[in-house]
Amino acid sequence: MRLSRFFLPILKENPKEAEIVSHRLMLRAGMLRQEAAGIYAWLPLGHRVLKKIEQIVREEQNRAGAIELLMPTLQLADLWRESGRYDAYGPEMLRIADRHKRELLYGPTNEEMITEIFRAYIKSYKSLPLNLYHIQWKFRDEQRPRFGVMRGREFLMKDAYSFDVDEAGARKSYNKMFVAYLRTFARMGLKAIPMRAETGPIGGDLSHEFIVLAETGESGVYIDRDVLNLPVPDENVDYDGDLTPIIKQWTSVYAATEDVHEPARYESEVPEANRLNTRGIEVGQIFYFGTKYSDSMKANVTGPDGTDAPIHGGSYGVGVSRLLGAIIEACHDDNGIIWPEAVAPFRVTILNLKQGDAATDAACDQLYRELSAKGVDVLYDDTDQRAGAKFATADLIGIPWQIHVGPRGLAEGKVELKRRSDGARENLALADVVARLT
């Protein structure tokens, strides 16, 4: 993409409304624009990252055997009356009446709707286990939306729902999602730690939150540092096999949010040198809630013995839009964002340090053409900004690799390659750059 044809509205000033660094950087880097309190437009740079995150989430859900569908944003109020949550949900639910005065709501989550879909079609244990997910916009009418995409009102969530004949099956489904989440966040370059959690309005008796450590996080957390070094299963993990050893390994090391923290256990189990009390950002949560929704909504299947029984369910959320904020909180410096490669909006940016100089333009054009032909996502800064401004923009928007192309280096046939993560620079022959990056 040529920057002269892109839409990247960089802000020079720090926006006053942004209280945390991820919000500030997303606004400054031209990723996001607020359209109403807690409601954002995703400008092209932000949209590219959102799509990459969404795709990683999708691939790992698919790998774990979950099946994608797509439920609508609006739901009938009557559906939520069946489960009893319509009145219970409170003012965070956005309630709507259509032209015929029919009561709708903007879905904050989809346990009711997926249960309605399930019970309409599935009658026998033979169709189970089943895990259905979607990636869709949700709305929660926060009293005080803030922190940009970290506590927005309209937000993108991946939510999966598992259906099993009994608790043993449901725990297997739960474990699959647990492992899929370990892989999902690791692929994004994050250390997200599963922690025992309260179940809140979803209900149930088993839940883990996946939490990224960051000083600016909303929750206090207590962990054993050993949890930071546990291995994440690779892509060959067998989801049909026994996952309990992985789960045991990850849940036997102490890690808990302050809500469920047990100081006595912490002190007896965790050597003092290993204790870490810090803050974290929740990026996913998984629940086993048994028959909570299948009881109230009569989602039964016929078992092998011919009797009908309510299915055992779980739900599994990933905050897709929130992840942008979490990644930036974890990956930035004073100059801007430092995208992990897997979620970067572009992998490489070419900075033309003397736009209009024939040799420099030709070298940049050639690099741009060759890298694009190899399938590398390139942002080519071909604007007439001065070199200093191009360096600042490149650091701010956080593309992993910068290629600095100017007349001085080119006189010796060289360009400079800068790695954004640590600032490491190397001089390379122009002819070697493409091979170095592919």
The CA distance from 406 to 356, in Å, is 11
- The residue among 173 and 216 lying less far from a copy of itself, judged by its C-beta, is 173
Binders of a copy of itself in range 366-405 (CB under 8 A): none
In whole angstroms, how close is the CB of 216 to a copy of itself at the nearest point? 24
- The residue among 143 and 268 lying less far from a copy of itself, judged by its C-beta, is 143
Rg value, the chain, Cα:
24
Encode burial over 279-297: b for 16+ CB neighbours within 10 A, e otherwise. bbbbbbbbbbbbbbbbeeb
In whole angstroms, how close is the CB of 436 to a copy of itself at the nearest point? 27
Of 15, 16, 7, 13, nearest in space to 46 by CA? 7
Inter-residue contact 34 to 40 (CB < 8 Å) = yes
Inter-residue contact 259 to 209 (CB < 8 Å) = no
Stretch that binds a copy of itself, among 12-20, 117-125, 257-265, 374-382 (CB under 8 A): 117-125
In whole angstroms, how close is the CB of 248 to a copy of itself at the nearest point? 26
Binders of a copy of itself in range 27-66 (CB under 8 A): 30, 33, 35-37, 39-44, 46-47, 50, 65
Side chain identity at residue 300, one-letter code: N
Judged by DSSP in three states, 244 sits in helix
Told to check if 201 binds a copy of itself by CB under 8 A, we report no
Task: Indicate which single residue of 72, 200, 231, 271 sits in contact with a copy of itself (rule: CB under 8 A).
Answer: 72
The CA distance from 20 to 36, in Å, is 18
In whole angstroms, how close is the CB of 299 to a copy of itself at the nearest point? 14
Told to check if 229 binds a copy of itself by CB under 8 A, we report no
Q: Do β-strands 255-257 and 219-224 pair in parallel, antiparallel, or remain unpaired?
A: antiparallel
- The residue among 41 and 431 lying less far from a copy of itself, judged by its C-beta, is 41
Binders of a copy of itself in range 317-336 (CB under 8 A): none
Inter-residue contact 338 to 328 (CB < 8 Å) = no
In whole angstroms, how close is the CB of 100 to a copy of itself at the nearest point? 8
Query: 243 to each of 138, 174, 239, how far by Cα in Å?
Result: 31, 10, 7
The CA distance from 351 to 23, in Å, is 26
Task: Indicate which single residue of 61, 75, 355, 360 sits in contact with a copy of itself (rule: CB under 8 A).
Answer: 75
The CA distance from 347 to 335, in Å, is 18
Told to check if 260 binds a copy of itself by CB under 8 A, we report no
- The residue among 161 and 254 lying less far from a copy of itself, judged by its C-beta, is 161
The CA distance from 318 to 132, in Å, is 14
In whole angstroms, how close is the CB of 281 to a copy of itself at the nearest point? 22
The CA distance from 180 to 55, in Å, is 14
- The residue among 127 and 249 lying less far from a copy of itself, judged by its C-beta, is 127
The CA distance from 70 to 54, in Å, is 14
Q: What single DSSP character describes residue 399? A: -
In whole angstroms, how close is the CB of 182 to a copy of itself at the nearest point? 22
Task: Indicate which single residue of 141, 166, 226, 341 sits in contact with a copy of itself (rule: CB under 8 A).
Answer: 141
In whole angstroms, how close is the CB of 341 to a copy of itself at the nearest point? 21
Stretch that binds a copy of itself, among 2-10, 223-231, 363-371, 405-413 (CB under 8 A): 2-10
Query: 348 to each of 51, 111, 367, 381, 418, how far by Cα in Å?
Result: 17, 41, 11, 11, 10
- The residue among 31 and 428 lying less far from a copy of itself, judged by its C-beta, is 31
Inter-residue contact 235 to 63 (CB < 8 Å) = yes
- A 10 A CB-CB count for 100 gives 5
Binders of a copy of itself in range 153-172 (CB under 8 A): 153-154
Binders of a copy of itself in range 118-137 (CB under 8 A): 120-122, 130, 132, 134, 137
- The residue among 10 and 387 lying less far from a copy of itself, judged by its C-beta, is 10
- The residue among 2 and 275 lying less far from a copy of itself, judged by its C-beta, is 2
Task: Indicate which single residue of 60, 116, 159, 416 sits in contact with a copy of itself (rule: CB under 8 A).
Answer: 116
**Site residue total, a copy of itself (CB under 8 A):** 54
CA 181, 185, 186, 188 torsion-angle sign:
positive
Told to check if 71 binds a copy of itself by CB under 8 A, we report yes
By CB under 8 A, name the binding residues for a copy of itself: 5-7, 9, 30, 33, 35-37, 39-44, 46-47, 50, 65, 67-76, 79, 91-92, 94, 96, 98-99, 102, 104, 106, 113, 116-117, 120-122, 130, 132, 134, 137, 139, 141, 143, 153-154
